[in-house]
Amino acid sequence: LCNIRNNFGTPLRDCLGKKGDPNQQTNLAFYKALEDWSRLTDHLFIWNYVVNFTNYYIIHPNFHCLKPDLQTFRDHHAAAIFEQGDSFNATACFNVLKEYLTARLLWDPDIDDDACIREFLEGCYGEAAPYLYNVIDRCEKEVARENVYLGCGMKDLNWLPDDAFVYCFDNFRKALSAVSGDRVLEDRVLGELMSFQWGWYMLDEDRRRAIADAGCLLYDDDTRYERVFSRWIVDHNNRWRSEGKPYAAEKSGGSKPLKKSANKPAGAESDDSWFEVAGDDFDLHLTGRCTFLKDDPGASLGKAAGLRYNSTEWGIQRRLDKAVNEAVKNGWKKADVYIVCRREGELTGSAGDEGCSMIFYDDATGAYPWVFSLKAGDIKSEYTAIKAGEIELRKYDGLMVALALTSDKALGESLLVDRIYFVLKK
């Protein structure tokens, strides 16, 4: 049995006393399935989820839910339980504590989980332990107080109120002060602060500033925090923002401003009626094996994003939230989407083959609002502007564009992308 859509902010068994709560309906459905299957067999296998896979860096305060859920599984004849955590990062977001607690509970679900948490914090963080416990405790209390639906695909910490942020940051300051002079413990505490502050970093500007104005932040400037954070994730092997997606020196991708060349496209009424993603402004995934950045004098800004012929992965990506939302704010309703690209090598397939897909993905909803297909024959050996299609503009919290080769044969050696540009329309 798999409970991937559950609300992990409350123990599973608590749903029985909250049958009218909309935030408990998935838990009720899973609990019923658990009961039904347990009547049929004594050999249930449970696939459980203990972290937030959409954003590993933000705190996922389910620490005191792990014990009662394991007890529930045991009491319903579970013979095996897989507790899936963050297998990508080393120490982000109290990872080590959660791994320790989970391992202990798998051996014995009846241990004192609170004592186990405190024991680990004291052993790992020394005199800073009580202050870090306060952070965990406050976040768990806010989940309960606000009746937060704590799924395993949470994008941000918008549910955590400003006063709770201030309280937690104040405790981080106290934690750092408590271990001042001990470089090992200071580094561990600072790592937890770096991860926790990611939640602040993803808030809107007004909330970030209100919290910073309380004087509780060690890093109260966005740029400085991002610089320190970027170094921390590399030095401490915490490079992965979410499952399979590495951090690319941006909040969640959507807030990094787009670069802009001087090449205003035909059809654009003015400088503010278009935007683009330039070749060196894409986020490249599986670099080396599937993607690469190439110096190319023919590209608008001198560099092109490359996608190798042997990959059908979404190797070239870019979040568009900020640009699209700004366009909507300024009254634009639609956009014509163009890609300027070329192929390397000879065309090996038919000109009518699908050569490349341009995928628009809404990370907030899991929807694909537009998918455009480019014919192999339209992608020439010299840079050519190809109209992919038209999109409707509205406010998005997670819109991205991605490119993937449809076939591993049609385009020769690789696809080179100079830019994708958007001509805005009323």
Structure tokens at 392: 């409707």
Question: Can you give the pLDDT at residue 253?
Answer: 46
Domain with CATH 2.60.120.260 in the chain: 271-425
Question: Can you give the pLDDT at residue 410?
Answer: 59
Question: Can you give the pLDDT at residue 288?
Answer: 79
Q: Which class is 271-425 in CATH?
A: mainly beta
Could you list the pLDDT tens digit for every one of the 426 residues in the chain? Answer: 999 889 999 999 999 999 999 999 999 999 999 999 999 999 999 999 999 998 999 999 999 999 999 999 999 999 999 999 998 888 889 999 999 999 999 999 999 999 999 999 999 999 999 999 999 999 999 999 999 999 998 889 999 999 999 999 999 999 999 999 999 999 999 999 999 999 999 898 899 999 999 999 999 888 888 888 888 988 888 888 887 677 754 444 445 677 777 788 888 888 889 999 999 899 887 777 788 999 999 998 899 999 987 666 778 989 898 899 999 999 999 999 999 999 988 877 788 888 889 999 887 666 789 999 998 889 999 999 999 999 999 998 778 899 988 765 556 688 999 999 999 999
Question: Can you give the pLDDT at residue 295?
Answer: 95
With helix as H, strand as E and coil as C, how does the chain read? CECCCCCCCCCHHHHHHCCCCHHHHHHHHHHHHHHHHHHHCCCEEEEEECCCCCCCCCCCCCHHHHHHHHHHHHHCCEEEEEEECCCCCCCHHHHHHHHHHHHHHHHCCCCCHHHHHHHHHHHHHHHHHHHHHHHHHHHHHHHHHCCCCCCCCCCCCCCCCHHHHHHHHHHHHHHHHHCCCCHHHHHHHHHHHHHHHHHHHCCCHHHHHHHHCCCCCCCCCHHHHHHHHHHHHHHCCCCEEECCEECCCCCCCCCCCCCCCCCCCCCCCCHHHEEEEEHHHCEECCECCCEEEEECCCCCCCEEEEEECCCCCCCEEEECHHHHHHHHHCCCCEEEEEEEEEEECCCCCCCCCEEEEEEEEECCCCEEEEEEEEEHHHCCCCCEEEEEEEEECCCCCCEEEEEEECCCCCCCCEEEEEEEEEEEEC
Structure tokens at 402: 């991605």
